[in-house]
Structure 1
Amino acid sequence: MIKKETPTAYEIHPLISGRWSPRAFDQKEVSEEAIRTVLEAGRWAPSSNNLQPWRIIYGVKGSDTYDRIMDCLVEFNQSWVKNAPVLMLGCYKKTNPKGQENFHALHDLGLFFGMASIQAHDMGIGVHQMAGIDFEKAKKDFGFPEEYHVATAVCMGYYGGDAKSQLSDDLHEQEHNKRKRMPQNAFVFNGNFKEQKQKENE
Protein backbone atom coordinates (compact mmCIF):
# COMPACT_ATOMS: atom_id res chain seq x y z
CA MET A 1 0.00 0.00 0.00
CA ILE A 2 1.25 3.48 -0.87
CA LYS A 3 2.36 5.45 2.18
CA LYS A 4 2.32 9.23 1.84
CA GLU A 5 4.59 11.52 3.84
CA THR A 6 3.06 14.84 4.87
CA PRO A 7 5.68 17.54 5.54
CA THR A 8 3.66 19.57 8.05
CA ALA A 9 5.10 22.76 9.53
CA TYR A 10 3.39 22.01 12.84
CA GLU A 11 2.41 18.73 14.43
CA ILE A 12 -1.20 17.89 13.58
CA HIS A 13 -3.44 14.90 14.21
CA PRO A 14 -2.31 11.83 12.22
CA LEU A 15 -5.85 11.32 10.88
CA ILE A 16 -5.38 14.64 9.07
CA SER A 17 -1.74 14.28 8.07
CA GLY A 18 -2.29 10.70 6.91
CA ARG A 19 -5.33 11.38 4.74
CA TRP A 20 -4.87 11.60 0.97
CA SER A 21 -6.98 11.15 -2.16
CA PRO A 22 -6.16 7.89 -3.99
CA ARG A 23 -7.22 6.95 -7.51
CA ALA A 24 -6.41 3.25 -7.08
CA PHE A 25 -8.46 1.30 -4.57
CA ASP A 26 -8.47 -2.15 -3.04
CA GLN A 27 -11.40 -4.07 -4.50
CA LYS A 28 -12.63 -5.10 -1.06
CA GLU A 29 -16.35 -4.37 -0.73
CA VAL A 30 -17.28 -1.29 1.29
CA SER A 31 -20.20 -2.47 3.38
CA GLU A 32 -23.44 -0.57 3.84
CA GLU A 33 -22.55 -0.13 7.50
CA ALA A 34 -19.16 1.39 6.58
CA ILE A 35 -20.75 3.77 4.08
CA ARG A 36 -23.35 4.84 6.62
CA THR A 37 -20.67 5.34 9.27
CA VAL A 38 -18.76 7.68 6.97
CA LEU A 39 -21.97 9.58 6.16
CA GLU A 40 -22.85 9.76 9.85
CA ALA A 41 -19.61 11.66 10.46
CA GLY A 42 -20.63 14.11 7.75
CA ARG A 43 -24.09 14.39 9.26
CA TRP A 44 -22.58 15.94 12.39
CA ALA A 45 -20.61 18.60 10.54
CA PRO A 46 -21.37 22.20 11.50
CA SER A 47 -23.55 24.26 9.17
CA SER A 48 -24.86 27.82 9.08
CA ASN A 49 -28.01 28.08 11.24
CA ASN A 50 -27.91 24.26 11.36
CA LEU A 51 -29.65 24.16 7.96
CA GLN A 52 -27.65 21.12 6.90
CA PRO A 53 -28.05 21.95 3.19
CA TRP A 54 -26.13 18.88 1.96
CA ARG A 55 -27.84 16.13 -0.03
CA ILE A 56 -25.93 12.96 -0.86
CA ILE A 57 -26.63 10.27 -3.45
CA TYR A 58 -24.50 7.14 -3.41
CA GLY A 59 -24.21 3.87 -5.28
CA VAL A 60 -22.05 0.78 -4.87
CA LYS A 61 -20.24 -0.81 -7.78
CA GLY A 62 -22.55 -3.06 -9.78
CA SER A 63 -25.69 -1.07 -8.98
CA ASP A 64 -27.80 1.05 -11.30
CA THR A 65 -27.14 4.15 -9.20
CA TYR A 66 -23.37 3.66 -9.47
CA ASP A 67 -23.64 3.44 -13.27
CA ARG A 68 -25.86 6.53 -13.44
CA ILE A 69 -23.37 8.56 -11.39
CA MET A 70 -20.56 7.26 -13.61
CA ASP A 71 -22.43 8.47 -16.70
CA CYS A 72 -22.40 12.01 -15.27
CA LEU A 73 -18.61 12.14 -14.91
CA VAL A 74 -16.31 13.64 -17.51
CA GLU A 75 -14.40 11.17 -19.65
CA PHE A 76 -11.09 11.67 -17.80
CA ASN A 77 -12.62 10.77 -14.45
CA GLN A 78 -14.48 7.81 -15.94
CA SER A 79 -11.13 6.41 -17.09
CA TRP A 80 -9.89 5.79 -13.54
CA VAL A 81 -12.88 6.04 -11.20
CA LYS A 82 -14.11 2.64 -12.38
CA ASN A 83 -11.67 1.27 -9.80
CA ALA A 84 -13.71 2.76 -6.93
CA PRO A 85 -16.18 0.54 -5.06
CA VAL A 86 -18.45 3.50 -4.16
CA LEU A 87 -19.52 6.63 -6.03
CA MET A 88 -21.36 9.62 -4.59
CA LEU A 89 -22.81 12.95 -5.63
CA GLY A 90 -22.45 15.88 -3.25
CA CYS A 91 -25.30 18.36 -3.62
CA TYR A 92 -26.65 21.31 -1.66
CA LYS A 93 -29.83 23.34 -1.34
CA LYS A 94 -29.13 26.86 -2.56
CA THR A 95 -31.88 28.56 -0.57
CA ASN A 96 -32.84 28.86 3.08
CA PRO A 97 -36.38 28.21 4.44
CA LYS A 98 -37.34 31.80 3.53
CA GLY A 99 -36.40 31.20 -0.11
CA GLN A 100 -33.37 33.47 0.14
CA GLU A 101 -29.97 32.48 -1.20
CA ASN A 102 -27.90 30.53 1.33
CA PHE A 103 -24.42 31.87 0.62
CA HIS A 104 -22.88 29.38 3.04
CA ALA A 105 -24.34 26.17 1.62
CA LEU A 106 -21.31 25.22 -0.50
CA HIS A 107 -19.04 25.87 2.48
CA ASP A 108 -21.23 23.60 4.58
CA LEU A 109 -21.12 20.81 1.99
CA GLY A 110 -17.33 21.06 2.12
CA LEU A 111 -17.44 20.68 5.89
CA PHE A 112 -19.65 17.60 5.46
CA PHE A 113 -17.10 15.87 3.24
CA GLY A 114 -14.21 17.11 5.36
CA MET A 115 -15.65 15.32 8.39
CA ALA A 116 -16.63 12.29 6.31
CA SER A 117 -13.12 12.05 4.82
CA ILE A 118 -11.47 11.99 8.24
CA GLN A 119 -13.88 9.30 9.45
CA ALA A 120 -13.24 7.29 6.30
CA HIS A 121 -9.47 7.56 6.72
CA ASP A 122 -9.76 6.26 10.27
CA MET A 123 -11.48 3.19 8.78
CA GLY A 124 -8.78 2.65 6.15
CA ILE A 125 -10.99 4.11 3.41
CA GLY A 126 -9.72 6.71 0.94
CA VAL A 127 -11.99 9.45 -0.41
CA HIS A 128 -11.38 11.34 -3.66
CA GLN A 129 -13.53 14.35 -4.58
CA MET A 130 -13.95 15.37 -8.22
CA ALA A 131 -15.01 18.57 -9.93
CA GLY A 132 -15.12 16.83 -13.32
CA ILE A 133 -18.84 16.20 -13.56
CA ASP A 134 -21.68 17.32 -15.81
CA PHE A 135 -23.60 19.19 -13.12
CA GLU A 136 -26.71 19.83 -15.19
CA LYS A 137 -26.96 16.23 -16.37
CA ALA A 138 -26.62 14.95 -12.81
CA LYS A 139 -29.21 17.42 -11.56
CA LYS A 140 -31.69 16.37 -14.24
CA ASP A 141 -31.00 12.63 -14.12
CA PHE A 142 -31.41 12.44 -10.35
CA GLY A 143 -34.48 14.65 -10.19
CA PHE A 144 -33.19 17.63 -8.23
CA PRO A 145 -35.45 20.73 -8.21
CA GLU A 146 -34.13 24.10 -9.37
CA GLU A 147 -33.09 25.26 -5.88
CA TYR A 148 -30.46 22.50 -5.63
CA HIS A 149 -26.98 22.31 -7.13
CA VAL A 150 -24.84 19.22 -7.71
CA ALA A 151 -21.43 20.48 -6.64
CA THR A 152 -19.12 17.49 -6.71
CA ALA A 153 -18.69 13.81 -7.34
CA VAL A 154 -16.93 11.64 -4.78
CA CYS A 155 -15.49 8.14 -4.93
CA MET A 156 -14.23 6.00 -2.11
CA GLY A 157 -12.77 2.63 -1.35
CA TYR A 158 -10.18 1.00 0.85
CA TYR A 159 -6.58 2.06 0.47
CA GLY A 160 -4.24 -0.51 -1.05
CA GLY A 161 -5.15 -0.67 -4.73
CA ASP A 162 -2.61 -1.72 -7.33
CA ALA A 163 -1.86 1.61 -8.97
CA LYS A 164 0.34 -0.03 -11.62
CA SER A 165 -2.45 -2.19 -13.02
CA GLN A 166 -5.41 0.10 -12.32
CA LEU A 167 -4.06 3.40 -13.64
CA SER A 168 -2.43 4.83 -16.74
CA ASP A 169 1.29 5.53 -16.57
CA ASP A 170 0.70 9.24 -15.95
CA LEU A 171 -1.79 8.65 -13.14
CA HIS A 172 0.38 5.89 -11.67
CA GLU A 173 3.19 8.41 -11.40
CA GLN A 174 0.86 10.98 -9.83
CA GLU A 175 -0.27 8.42 -7.26
CA HIS A 176 3.30 8.34 -5.96
CA ASN A 177 3.90 12.09 -6.01
CA LYS A 178 4.96 13.77 -2.80
CA ARG A 179 2.26 15.73 -0.99
CA LYS A 180 2.63 19.51 -0.93
CA ARG A 181 0.68 22.56 0.13
CA MET A 182 1.22 26.32 0.02
CA PRO A 183 3.03 27.62 3.11
CA GLN A 184 0.87 29.46 5.63
CA ASN A 185 2.41 32.82 4.79
CA ALA A 186 0.88 32.53 1.31
CA PHE A 187 -2.69 32.61 2.64
CA VAL A 188 -2.67 33.62 6.33
CA PHE A 189 -2.51 37.30 7.29
CA ASN A 190 -2.37 38.77 10.77
CA GLY A 191 -3.76 42.07 9.54
CA ASN A 192 -4.67 43.25 6.05
CA PHE A 193 -4.90 40.89 3.10
CA LYS A 194 -1.92 40.94 0.75
CA GLU A 195 -1.76 39.53 -2.75
CA GLN A 196 0.55 36.56 -3.11
CA LYS A 197 2.70 38.38 -5.68
CA GLN A 198 3.37 41.14 -3.15
CA LYS A 199 4.55 38.60 -0.60
CA GLU A 200 6.77 36.87 -3.16
CA ASN A 201 8.53 40.18 -3.78
CA GLU A 202 9.22 40.86 -0.11
Structure 2
Amino acid sequence: MSISLSDRRAVTTHPIAEVLAERWSPRSFNPSAQIDDAQLSVLLEAARWAPSASNLQPVRFIAARRGTAEFDAIVATLVGFNQVWAVRASALVVGIAVTAGQDGTPHRWAEYDLGQAIAHLSVQAHTDGLHVHQIGGFDPRAIADHFGLADTFVPVSITAIGTLGEAAALGEPYLSREVASRERLPLDDLVLVLA
Protein backbone atom coordinates (compact mmCIF):
# COMPACT_ATOMS: atom_id res chain seq x y z
CA MET A 1 0.00 0.00 0.00
CA SER A 2 1.39 3.36 -1.05
CA ILE A 3 0.54 6.58 0.69
CA SER A 4 -0.23 9.59 -1.47
CA LEU A 5 1.38 12.70 -0.09
CA SER A 6 -1.60 14.73 -1.26
CA ASP A 7 -3.80 12.55 0.95
CA ARG A 8 -1.65 13.46 3.97
CA ARG A 9 -1.93 17.24 3.51
CA ALA A 10 -3.44 18.91 6.57
CA VAL A 11 -6.98 20.21 6.17
CA THR A 12 -6.65 23.62 7.75
CA THR A 13 -9.31 26.16 8.67
CA HIS A 14 -6.98 28.98 7.60
CA PRO A 15 -4.37 28.90 4.82
CA ILE A 16 -0.83 28.10 5.98
CA ALA A 17 2.46 27.64 4.14
CA GLU A 18 2.44 24.52 1.97
CA VAL A 19 5.58 23.13 3.61
CA LEU A 20 3.72 23.16 6.94
CA ALA A 21 0.45 21.78 5.57
CA GLU A 22 2.26 18.93 3.82
CA ARG A 23 4.54 18.01 6.73
CA TRP A 24 3.55 14.84 8.58
CA SER A 25 5.29 12.17 10.65
CA PRO A 26 5.43 8.80 8.91
CA ARG A 27 6.63 5.53 10.36
CA SER A 28 6.94 3.91 6.93
CA PHE A 29 10.53 4.75 6.10
CA ASN A 30 12.34 3.23 3.12
CA PRO A 31 14.82 0.78 4.72
CA SER A 32 17.27 1.01 1.81
CA ALA A 33 17.38 4.80 1.40
CA GLN A 34 20.56 6.51 2.53
CA ILE A 35 21.20 10.05 3.74
CA ASP A 36 24.63 11.47 2.98
CA ASP A 37 26.85 13.85 4.95
CA ALA A 38 25.71 16.88 2.96
CA GLN A 39 21.99 16.18 3.47
CA LEU A 40 22.40 15.57 7.18
CA SER A 41 24.59 18.66 7.57
CA VAL A 42 21.93 20.84 5.90
CA LEU A 43 19.31 19.63 8.40
CA LEU A 44 21.60 20.31 11.35
CA GLU A 45 22.45 23.73 9.91
CA ALA A 46 18.73 24.58 9.81
CA ALA A 47 18.49 23.51 13.46
CA ARG A 48 21.50 25.66 14.33
CA TRP A 49 19.78 28.79 13.01
CA ALA A 50 16.61 28.40 15.08
CA PRO A 51 15.79 31.23 17.51
CA SER A 52 17.51 30.95 20.88
CA ALA A 53 16.86 32.83 24.13
CA SER A 54 19.75 35.29 24.69
CA ASN A 55 21.46 33.42 21.84
CA LEU A 56 22.74 30.85 24.36
CA GLN A 57 22.06 27.99 21.93
CA PRO A 58 21.70 25.39 24.70
CA VAL A 59 21.16 22.55 22.25
CA ARG A 60 23.35 19.69 21.11
CA PHE A 61 22.80 16.79 18.73
CA ILE A 62 23.96 13.25 18.21
CA ALA A 63 23.37 12.30 14.58
CA ALA A 64 23.82 8.72 13.41
CA ARG A 65 23.08 7.00 10.12
CA ARG A 66 21.67 3.52 9.71
CA GLY A 67 24.45 0.97 9.46
CA THR A 68 26.62 2.54 12.17
CA ALA A 69 27.22 1.36 15.73
CA GLU A 70 25.94 4.73 16.99
CA PHE A 71 22.62 4.26 15.17
CA ASP A 72 22.24 0.77 16.67
CA ALA A 73 23.03 2.14 20.14
CA ILE A 74 20.28 4.76 19.78
CA VAL A 75 17.78 2.17 18.49
CA ALA A 76 18.55 0.00 21.54
CA THR A 77 17.30 2.81 23.82
CA LEU A 78 13.90 3.03 22.10
CA VAL A 79 10.82 1.42 23.62
CA GLY A 80 9.87 -1.70 21.66
CA PHE A 81 6.99 -0.05 19.80
CA ASN A 82 9.34 2.55 18.34
CA GLN A 83 12.17 0.09 17.61
CA VAL A 84 9.96 -1.78 15.14
CA TRP A 85 9.73 1.11 12.69
CA ALA A 86 12.57 3.53 13.60
CA VAL A 87 15.21 0.98 12.63
CA ARG A 88 14.13 1.58 9.01
CA ALA A 89 14.97 5.32 9.11
CA SER A 90 18.03 6.59 7.26
CA ALA A 91 19.27 8.51 10.30
CA LEU A 92 18.41 9.21 13.93
CA VAL A 93 19.14 12.53 15.63
CA VAL A 94 19.13 12.79 19.42
CA GLY A 95 18.07 16.26 20.56
CA ILE A 96 19.85 17.32 23.75
CA ALA A 97 18.97 20.29 25.97
CA VAL A 98 21.92 21.85 27.81
CA THR A 99 20.12 22.70 31.05
CA ALA A 100 22.86 24.78 32.70
CA GLY A 101 25.98 26.73 31.82
CA GLN A 102 29.49 25.80 32.89
CA ASP A 103 29.08 28.03 35.94
CA GLY A 104 25.88 26.19 36.94
CA THR A 105 23.49 28.95 35.86
CA PRO A 106 20.26 27.22 34.74
CA HIS A 107 19.26 27.55 31.10
CA ARG A 108 15.54 27.92 31.72
CA TRP A 109 14.61 27.90 28.04
CA ALA A 110 16.82 25.00 26.93
CA GLU A 111 14.01 22.58 26.09
CA TYR A 112 12.04 25.34 24.35
CA ASP A 113 15.08 26.24 22.24
CA LEU A 114 15.64 22.58 21.42
CA GLY A 115 12.03 22.25 20.30
CA GLN A 116 12.48 25.20 17.95
CA ALA A 117 15.69 23.71 16.59
CA ILE A 118 14.00 20.38 15.85
CA ALA A 119 11.06 22.22 14.26
CA HIS A 120 13.50 24.01 11.94
CA LEU A 121 15.16 20.68 11.13
CA SER A 122 11.73 19.18 10.37
CA VAL A 123 10.71 21.96 7.99
CA GLN A 124 14.10 21.82 6.22
CA ALA A 125 13.79 18.05 5.88
CA HIS A 126 10.36 18.33 4.30
CA THR A 127 11.62 21.07 1.97
CA ASP A 128 14.42 18.69 0.93
CA GLY A 129 12.03 15.80 0.20
CA LEU A 130 12.71 13.96 3.45
CA HIS A 131 10.37 13.09 6.30
CA VAL A 132 10.89 13.05 10.05
CA HIS A 133 9.14 11.46 12.98
CA GLN A 134 9.93 12.71 16.46
CA ILE A 135 10.17 10.12 19.23
CA GLY A 136 9.71 10.54 22.97
CA GLY A 137 9.59 6.84 23.86
CA PHE A 138 13.22 6.09 24.71
CA ASP A 139 15.53 5.77 27.73
CA PRO A 140 17.34 9.11 28.16
CA ARG A 141 19.67 7.68 30.83
CA ALA A 142 20.81 4.93 28.45
CA ILE A 143 21.61 7.55 25.79
CA ALA A 144 23.51 9.68 28.32
CA ASP A 145 25.47 6.70 29.60
CA HIS A 146 26.34 5.31 26.17
CA PHE A 147 27.55 8.66 24.80
CA GLY A 148 29.14 9.88 28.06
CA LEU A 149 26.98 12.98 28.39
CA ALA A 150 27.39 15.41 31.27
CA ASP A 151 24.48 15.67 33.73
CA THR A 152 23.47 19.02 32.22
CA PHE A 153 23.19 17.46 28.73
CA VAL A 154 19.66 16.02 28.82
CA PRO A 155 18.40 13.90 25.90
CA VAL A 156 14.85 15.11 25.19
CA SER A 157 13.85 13.56 21.87
CA ILE A 158 15.00 11.41 19.01
CA THR A 159 14.13 12.34 15.43
CA ALA A 160 13.93 9.64 12.76
CA ILE A 161 14.78 10.93 9.27
CA GLY A 162 14.31 9.28 5.90
CA THR A 163 12.24 8.89 2.77
CA LEU A 164 8.86 7.22 2.53
CA GLY A 165 8.66 3.48 2.17
CA GLU A 166 5.68 1.21 1.67
CA ALA A 167 3.12 1.61 4.44
CA ALA A 168 2.04 -2.03 4.13
CA ALA A 169 5.51 -3.13 5.23
CA LEU A 170 4.70 -1.84 8.71
CA GLY A 171 2.00 -4.39 9.52
CA GLU A 172 -0.51 -3.80 12.30
CA PRO A 173 -1.06 -1.86 14.52
CA TYR A 174 1.35 0.52 12.78
CA LEU A 175 -0.35 0.42 9.39
CA SER A 176 -3.69 1.65 10.75
CA ARG A 177 -1.97 4.57 12.44
CA GLU A 178 -0.01 5.39 9.30
CA VAL A 179 -3.07 5.78 7.10
CA ALA A 180 -5.46 7.23 9.71
CA SER A 181 -6.82 10.69 9.01
CA ARG A 182 -4.76 13.54 10.37
CA GLU A 183 -6.48 15.44 13.12
CA ARG A 184 -5.79 18.37 15.41
CA LEU A 185 -7.83 20.06 18.09
CA PRO A 186 -9.89 22.96 16.74
CA LEU A 187 -8.17 26.34 16.91
CA ASP A 188 -10.92 27.59 19.24
CA ASP A 189 -9.88 24.93 21.77
CA LEU A 190 -6.24 25.99 21.65
CA VAL A 191 -6.49 29.77 21.72
CA LEU A 192 -7.50 30.94 25.17
CA VAL A 193 -7.56 34.65 24.31
CA LEU A 194 -7.56 36.36 20.93
CA ALA A 195 -8.01 40.08 21.54
- Look up the equivalent residue of 1:122 and give its one-letter code: T
Match of 1:188 in 2: 191
CA RMSD in angstroms comes to 1.4
Letter in 2 for 1:121: H
Assess if the C-alpha contact under 8 Å between 2:58 and 2:110 holds in 1: yes
CA-to-aligned-CA distance 1:23-63 (integer Å, 9 cap, x gap): 01123211111111111111100011111111100111111
Task: Give the stretch that moved more between structures: 93-102 or 61-70.
Answer: 93-102
State the match for 1:24 in structure 2.
Answer: 28
Show structure 1 runs of 5+ residues with no match. Answer: 193-202
CA distance in 2, matches of 1:58, 1:191: 40
Out of 90, 103, 107, the position equivalent to 2:108 is 103
Which residue is equivalent to 1:173? 176
- AA aligned to 2:182 is R
CA contact (8 A) 1:5 1:178 kept: no
Identity of aligned residues (%): 32
Q: Contact 1:93–1:147 at 8 Å: present in 2 too? A: yes
Counterpart in the other structure of 2:99: 94
Q: How many residues align?
A: 190
CA distance in structure 1 between the aligned counterparts of 2:135 and 2:122, rounded to whole angstroms: 13
TM-score (normalised: structure 2): 0.93
- 1:51–1:96 Cα contact (<8 Å) kept: no
What is the distance in 2 between the residues matched to 1:141 and 1:98? Answer: 25
Q: Secondary structure at the match of 2:160?
A: strand
Asked if 1 retains the 8 angstrom alpha-carbon contact of 2:29 and 2:85, the reply is: no
Partner in structure 2 of residue 8 of structure 1: 12
**Deviation at residue 191 of structure 1 after TM alignment:** 6.5
1:30-41 equivalent positions in 2, closer than 5 A: 30-41=35-46
Q: Which has the larger radius of gyration?
A: 1
Q: Where does 1:41-56 land on structure 2 (aligned, <5 Å)?
A: 41-56=46-61
3-state DSSP of counterpart to 1:6: coil
Q: TM-score normalized by structure 1? A: 0.90
1:77: Cα distance to partner?
0.8
Displacement, 1:187? 1.7
